[in-house]
Amino acid sequence: MRRIALIGCGAIAGNHLSALVRLPDVGIVALCDPIRSRAETARDRYAAKAAIYTDYRKMLDEISPDAVHIATPHYLHCEMACEALSRGINVLLEKPICISEEEIERLIAAEKASNGKVCVCFQNRFNPATLAVRELADACGGVRCARASVTWDRGDAYYLADEWRGKKATEGGGVLINQAIHELDLMIGFTGTPVSVSAKTANHAHAGTIDVEDSAELLIRFESGATAFFTATTAFGCDAPNFEELYCQNGRRITLIGQEIYLDGTPYPYDVPDGLSLPGKECWGVGHVRLIRRFYEALDAGTEMPVTLESAAVPLRVLLAAYRSSDRDVTVPLK
């Protein structure tokens, strides 16, 4: 049985823990949060025998788990993943992998130097709708241009509830790095290799509460010659389903609204396997079980991680370049 630990028993931890209790041959052996009561609540709900820690390094040293799930504020991801990797421990890392270019390099080097592997929590890559759109886009000759938008509602109370939110130093940015990174990742996955980005960011509705953007628009150019226009905001009046539209090389148009697919405006049916969805916020998607199951299967088989660090670094590099583009009013090439 694989022995699993989790760091950060906040909002998303329940998705990880309820996925883990559904899987065979894994046991949750330790939980860590500086707010001890959060770790205890998680233990009482998901893992009666788990040890409780408030210091994650102590937990890694004493428990030496086979894998650790990291679900903490963004600024801690790089340091915590590197600490686990330096002990040869496998990591399931929540998005974003980190908050700067320097940290991306540090993480990739740490994984290379370790016997441990990192899988990143881009669970929406495994939504049945995502897989169906990928297949359809390939069958349509690939994407010529794409547009996507994330229009969610996060009021001041959301940002004020947890100290790390809405601050460049601890969240690493605003809507792009937190709420919109999943959709940006999907759009890039459908379209190809990005080569440059021109962007504008703004704080339209949260002045005085956050020091990062609540809204952004990006024009992304791809190696294939494709272009994509991406918009995101947390200043919308509700959490609308994400919207994505792909104009394909063969003239066909694929639309993805939430989990609904349309081909040239007509509903497009696709298979949804049963039993893999989790209750919880709709905007978080339903893919945690699929992703986490694949992570442990890949560890068992010794195969490539379902979401590698390198692939998860791509949307992060695009949005970090978007911040530089907006600050300097230039188009930023991507390496």
Ligand X SMILES: NC(=O)c1ccc[n+]([C@@H]2O[C@H](COP(=O)([O-])OP(=O)(O)OC[C@H]3O[C@@H](n4cnc5c(N)ncnc54)[C@H](O)[C@@H]3O)[C@@H](O)[C@H]2O)c1
Residue whose CB is less far from ligand X, 57 or 106 = 57
Residue whose CB is less far from ligand X, 253 or 281 = 281
- By CB under 6 A, name the one of 9, 84, 133, 199 that touches ligand X: 9
Least Å from the CB of residue 312 to ligand X: 11
- Identify residue 155 by its one-letter amino acid code: G
Give one DSSP letter per residue of 142-192, joined into a string. SEEEEEEEEE-B--HHHHHHSTTTT-HHHHSSSTTTTTSHHHHHHHHHHH-
Residue whose CB is less far from ligand X, 11 or 169 = 11
Residue nearest to ligand X (CB): 10
- By CB under 6 A, name the one of 105, 162, 223, 264 that touches ligand X: 162
Which residue pairs from 253-260 have beta carbons closer than 8 angstroms and sit at least 24 positions apart in sequence? 254/133, 254/136, 254/137, 254/140, 256/129, 256/133, 258/282, 259/127, 259/128, 259/129, 260/129
- Encoded one letter per residue, x for contact with ligand X by CB under 6 A and - for no contact, window 18-57 reads --------------xxxx--x-----------------x-
- By CB under 6 A, name the one of 76, 202, 235, 314 that touches ligand X: 76
**Residues touching ligand X, count (CB under 6 A):** 25
Two tokens at 291? 């992703």
Least Å from the CB of residue 27 to ligand X: 20
Segment contacting ligand X by CB under 6 A, of 1-9, 111-119, 152-160, 232-240 = 1-9
- By CB under 6 A, name the one of 28, 63, 66, 72 that touches ligand X: 72
Q: How far apart are CA 99 and CA 316, in angstroms?
A: 8
Least Å from the CB of residue 33 to ligand X: 4
Report the candidate in 146, 141, 330 with the shortest Cα–Cα distance to residue 242: 146
Q: How far apart are CA 168 and CA 19, in angstroms?
A: 31
């992998």: which residue's tokens?
A: 97
Burial of 15 (0-12, 13-18, 19+ CB in 10 A): buried
Segment contacting ligand X by CB under 6 A, of 73-81, 82-90, 141-149, 231-239 = 73-81
Tell me the C-alpha to C-alpha distance, in Å, between residue 93 and each of 6, 31, 98, 163, 185. 10, 15, 10, 21, 16
Residue whose CB is less far from ligand X, 4 or 143 = 4
Q: How far apart are CA 276 and CA 287, in angstroms?
A: 8
Least Å from the CB of residue 183 to ligand X: 11
The reply on whether position 241 binds ligand X by CB under 6 A is no
Strand, coil or helix: what is 319? helix
Residue whose CB is less far from ligand X, 152 or 230 = 152
Segment contacting ligand X by CB under 6 A, of 68-76, 81-89, 128-136, 190-198 = 68-76
| Binding to ligand X, residues 165-224 (CB under 6 A) | 178
Least Å from the CB of residue 21 to ligand X: 18
Report the candidate in 157, 152, 318, 173 with the shortest Cα–Cα distance to residue 239: 152
Report the candidate in 159, 163, 195, 198 with the shortest Cα–Cα distance to residue 175: 159
- By CB under 6 A, name the one of 11, 113, 160, 330 that touches ligand X: 11
């930023």: which residue's tokens?
A: 332
Two tokens at 304? 């490539």
Least Å from the CB of residue 213 to ligand X: 16
Q: How far apart are CA 326 and CA 69, in angstroms?
A: 33
Least Å from the CB of residue 136 to ligand X: 24
| Binding to ligand X, residues 88-117 (CB under 6 A) | 94-95
Residues that bind ligand X (CB under 6 A): 7-12, 32-35, 38, 56, 71-74, 76, 94-95, 121, 123, 162, 178, 284-285
